[in-house]
A = this chain, B = another copy of it.
């Protein structure tokens, strides 16, 4: 039995725009204690995960997001050893972090175990490093994890969460950032997904302001293409515990021994070259 493909549209109210996919069938669905997770098969984008109706990732384009959430931060830090990922239950960011041989500990703390179970089943390529001895998969509250993490024990914190509504709301405020600040070493870096640089600069401003109240000293927002998110253009924001710039280990990035599909040293350089309209909005 075959059925006609149907179009699934997600309307983004804050941006007044919409992204849709041609869907062949629903593959799976689970209602976890936190959210509803659905998996669809598409005609051109591989599998598609929705959480509470919002597109989280597709097979086809998730590499852009996962590479840009990890490599710029890890190549900015001089020698990252201890990495914590808050959220990131699909394991794609963890996979990229583990490509850095200097990393000795990579904790992924997502509140919802079902996200990882669905990723293992429908995005197995993202989970192929979950057995790495350096990886630790926790299914727990990321806010509590950071509050309890020993002071000065982390080099990089990656906040790879859903938007600041629902379960992820507490990951965008001063209290959470204070825990991160405390847990980081002096040269530590916090990196968080920070929405669309075209349409949601107000959110980036607010995020930076909260990070600043928690003690973070300097900030840099790196834009990158991300077709499945609103406006198709996304960003991560890096925050440094100590004052300092965001020059990166360009020679190491150029000589990297692992594969990446999007990230390279030149793209990192380009992402650091803030467009004038973004710089203006962020007061840089």
Report which A residues bind B (CB closer than 8 A).
Answer: 5, 7, 9, 11, 15-22, 42-45, 60-61, 63, 198-199, 223, 225-227, 231-233, 259-267, 269-273, 275-277
Contacts and interface: CB of A to CB of B under 8 A. Distances in A.
- With a 10 A CB-CB cut-off, give which of A17, A22, A43, A259 has the most chain B CB atoms: A17
Nearest 5 CB-CB pairings of A with B: A270-B270, A232-B232, A266-B273, A16-B44, A18-B20
Contacts of A227: 17, 198, 231-233
B265 A273 contact: yes
Contacts of A19: 17-20, 232
Nearest to A231: B227
A265 B272 CA distance: 11
Given A266-B273, A270-B271, 7 more contacts: A16-B42, A17-B21, A17-B45, A18-B22, A198-B225, A261-B276, A269-B270
A1 B187 CA distance: 58
A20 B15 contact: no
B269 A273 contact: yes
A267 B270 contact: yes
Contacts of A265: 273
A261 B279 CA distance: 10
Contacts of A11: 7, 20, 22
Nearest to A266: B273
Contacts of A232: 19, 225-227, 231-233
A17 B23 CA distance: 9
Contacts of A22: 11, 16-18
B44 A199 contact: yes
Contacts of A61: 198, 231
A262 B233 contact: no
Given A223-B225, A276-B262, A16 B9 contact: no
Contacts of A266: 269-270, 272-273
Contacts of A264: 273, 275-276
7 contacts: A7-B18, A16-B42, A16-B45, A19-B232, A231-B232, A261-B276, A266-B273
A152 to B, nearest CB: 34
Given A61-B198, A273-B264, A17 B20 contact: yes
